[in-house]
Amino acid sequence: MSKQTHNESLTRGLSDRHIQLIAIGGAIGVGLFLGSASAIQAAGPALILSYALGGIIIFFIMRALGELILYKPVSGSFSTYATELIGPWAGFITGWTYWFMWVVTGMAEITAVGIYVNTWFPQVPQWIPALVALVVVYLINLIAVKLFGEVEFWFALIKVVTILALIVVGLVMITTGWGNDGEAIGFSNLWKHGGFMPKGFIGVLLALQMVMFAFLGVELVGVTAGEAQNPEKSIPSAINKIIWRILIFYIGALVVILSLYPWNQLDGQTSPFVLTFTKIGIPAAAGIINFVILTAALSSCNSGVFSTGRMLYTLARHKQAPQALDYVSRRHVPSRGITVSAIVLLIGVVLNYFIPEKAFSYITSVATIGALWVWGIILYAHIKFRQKHQPTAFKMPGTPWTNWIGILFLIFVAVLLSLEESTRIALYVGPVWFGILAVSYQWVRKFNRNDE
């Protein structure tokens, strides 16, 4: 360890309650509240199948990660497992890709905070709430990991309560006719307008790229492993419940939404959540959902600062980032890694004023490719783990077949990105990013060799 480190390690300040809600929060993103409207246009009611298929693959990815965590519960887990089980190059590329993925996502989220606040206070310049949000989450992450866990707990709880309210209210409307002049709506909207699969199976496939992007952040449980109080108990519990959370929060919410409204009447712009709460006569529905989306964006930014700080710390420990970042403060947090990430995020606020939105989307497209890479590395590192070690008590089912099915699925999703003009840019930006990392790795390896 670097001499600059004040304490021996990060502290295990995240309780089972924190881990469970971080797992839920990671699985439920802004994509469900906003992105579901456009995804419905791509697949119709068959979007339910897209989420079910994507959910199964995510479950296998998380089970593979869970077994690796029980083998070695460390912070910045994916990079560590990739380095040990595949090779230092894999750890370098995975660590930096995950860092960049979250930094880019964080840039988008703090910009979103500014936009959402602007709907209530149009006279306030957009950059002010974006800056305030960044400063707040930066300070939260500097103070203590327990405070991060507590804030994330409440952010996740707001999302959970909102979705459960939609499901309960929606089911009452479907079965009793409340909010529809007493006439029960029933479930026929799921198949009445062109059938259950109006865009054919190709619609189900095309929606997969949006579905997988919505799951971005589910792997955050792996980053918390090094600071969980009881990882042997809390991590398997959180991971095993992911499949039920996907069934309830994604598929349950979509079944209700698509039963309440003919899929072809959703414009792809307005959040289905706003439409549902407006229909039962809640005048402040748009404001309520705006608040929920605002907390979801803050939650994502909070998670971004947390995970990027840990990843820089892990990379520095493996001599794959500047050694000054191998530093833990007296409060047991990687303060320098957190600070560097926050500074880069601050640049994101400034960039929004100087580069057009299209140029910004070129950068954000790396987030999708980054997630596919990290998930693929988790599955492959698990295959290598099983070749070298005995399985842990939390065995990944169906290894190695389920691993290879998952990897092929992720490659297929990457290919799907080429079919739409808006996502095709990811396939151009991705190779450039990985090319930069390949050159950087050779330089880092040479530098470390000379330093020995």
d(CA 140, CA 333): 11
| 295 Cβ contact list (under 8 Å, min separation 6) | 155, 158, 159
Give the number of other CB atoms < 10 A from CB of residue 164: 14
Decide if 8 is inside a domain. no
Express each pLDDT in 176-218 by its tens digit. Answer: 877 667 777 888 989 998 999 999 999 999 888 888 888 888 8
Q: Residue 2's pLDDT is what?
A: 40
SS3 198: coil
Decide if 267 is inside a domain. yes
Fill in the DSSP letter of residue 44: G
CATH of the domain at 180: 1.20.1740.10
Query: Mean pLDDT per 10-residue run, the chain (452 residues)?
Result: 46 74 70 72 91 93 92 82 94 93 84 80 84 91 86 87 87 81 82 92 88 83 75 84 82 89 77 74 79 85 87 89 88 89 84 60 72 95 95 91 97 88 80 93 85 60
Alpha helices for 16-144 (secondary structure H): 16-27, 30, 36-43, 47-71, 77-85, 88-120, 127-143
CB distance 1 to 326 below 8 Å: yes
d(CA 95, CA 418): 25
d(CA 104, CA 344): 9
State whether the Cα torsion 21-167-106-423 is positive or negative: positive
d(CA 247, CA 256): 12
SS3 424: helix
d(CA 264, CA 268): 9
State whether the Cα torsion 437-441-442-446 is positive or negative: positive
CB distance 421 to 118 below 8 Å: no
Q: Residue 6's pLDDT is what?
A: 42
Work out how many domains the chain is built from and give that number.
1
Residue range of the domain that includes 20: 16-446
| 450 Cβ contact list (under 8 Å, min separation 6) | none
Decide if 233 is inside a domain. yes
- Tell me the helices (H) and strands (E) count for the chain, helix number first: 20, 0
d(CA 80, CA 223): 11
Q: Residue 10's pLDDT is what?
A: 65
SS3 7: coil
Decide if 1 is inside a domain. no
Q: Residue 340's pLDDT is what?
A: 94
Q: Is the pTM of this model over 0.85?
A: yes
SS3 228: strand
d(CA 158, CA 291): 10
Decide if 250 is inside a domain. yes
Decide if 62 is inside a domain. yes
Tokens of 197: 């699969």
Tokens of 215: 């799951």
Decide if 426 is inside a domain. yes
The phi, psi pair for 14, rounded to 5°, reads -100, 120
d(CA 416, CA 397): 27
HSE, CB side, 13 Å, CA atoms: give it for residue 42.
Answer: 22
HSE, CB side, 13 Å, CA atoms: give it for residue 197.
Answer: 10
Decide if 10 is inside a domain. no
